[in-house]
Structure 1
């Protein structure tokens, strides 16, 4: 004699009455895949990056990218992170341009003053253009 598992006999399903609503087995999930009241990952980091983008652009750029990646993993948007990336990128480029210009023209200006002080010696000297220079 062989023991074979008995298969359950299918039960007839009852049809709901006409016009009656069928109840859900479970509530439909939110569109983003996360609970509606759960915090978006990276949102706080995006806000921190946005604030830092006005002061420390390189750090803000890195934090903004990290916050954006965290938010995109769960399919959420992160406006503060995008704004931080844009603002810190623009300010970083402007800062680099200003730094290059400062070193270019500043070195020429201060290099000329240093050469004049080497030539004239220590003390206060009146220049031909009407200005004065003090060398130590």
Structure 2
């Protein structure tokens, strides 16, 4: 379907007369001849009748000449999306973040001070990742961060506890071998 040319726009000098024939880059393009019809509104000249308002400018054009809605005359209707309207499952707003993922990260970071909440953060992180897969909520990155921080702090805590236990056992073993001489 073709649309009539827009009467308010001059023809495009670079558009070929046959739209299916490609432009020849070596062919010289001549500019279009000047439009013989006068433009609207005609320019103000001192010999034209005096305006009614006394301001020195021509009166404004009358109102109510064009359509109230839609594109200007001669333009094609607006294009529709090739994909159609969005489906029922489309969401446009921000996703809800899983509260369990937030709790996982908070508990894991608090494990620096409490030394016991890091394993709780690991458990909450695994539960949050499963909940996110089932419900489609946001916060998978928070749950992953909670898992990593929780695992690292748990390993550091276990290694530190084993180190102190080994020192304590060594100190007890050395203490029994000490002889006192006075």
TM-score (norm 2): 0.44
- Is the aligned partner of 1:63 residue 2:124? yes
Alpha-carbon distance in 1 for matches of 2:77, 2:172: 89
Q: Specify the alignment match of 2:31 in structure 1.
A: none
Q: 2:77 aligns with which of 19, 34, 39?
A: 19
* Residue pair 2:102, 2:139 contacting (<8 A) in 1 also: no
Please tell me whether Structure 1 or Structure 2 has the larger radius of gyration of its CA atoms: 2
Structure 1: any 5+ residue segments left out of the alignment?
Answer: 1-17, 127-136
> For residues 52-85 of structure 1, what are the alpha-carbon distances to aligned partners after superposition, in whole Å with 9 as ceiling and x for unaligned?
1132111110001111221133274522111110
Which of 146, 150, 157 lines up with 1:95 in the alignment? 157
Deviation at 1:33, TM superposition (A): 5.4
Following TM superposition, where does structure 1 have runs of at least 4 consecutive aligned residues deviating by more than 6 angstroms?
A: none
SS of structure 2 residue aligned to 1:49: helix
Match of 2:65 in 1: none
Distance 1:49 1:77, change over 3 A: closer
Aligned to 1:72: 133
Shift of 1:89: 0.4
What's 1:50 paired with?
105
2:147 alignment partner in structure 1: 85
CA shift at 1:20, angstroms? 3.9
Report 1:25-44 matches (<5 A).
28-29=86-87, 36-40=93-97, 43-44=98-99
Deviation, 1:116, is 5.5
Question: What's the TM-score once normalised by structure 1's chain length?
Answer: 0.56
- Equivalent residue pairs, number: 100
Deviation of the 1:34 alpha carbon: 5.0
Secondary structure of the structure 1 residue equivalent to 2:86: coil
Q: Between Structure 1 and Structure 2, which shows a larger proportion of strand residues?
A: 1
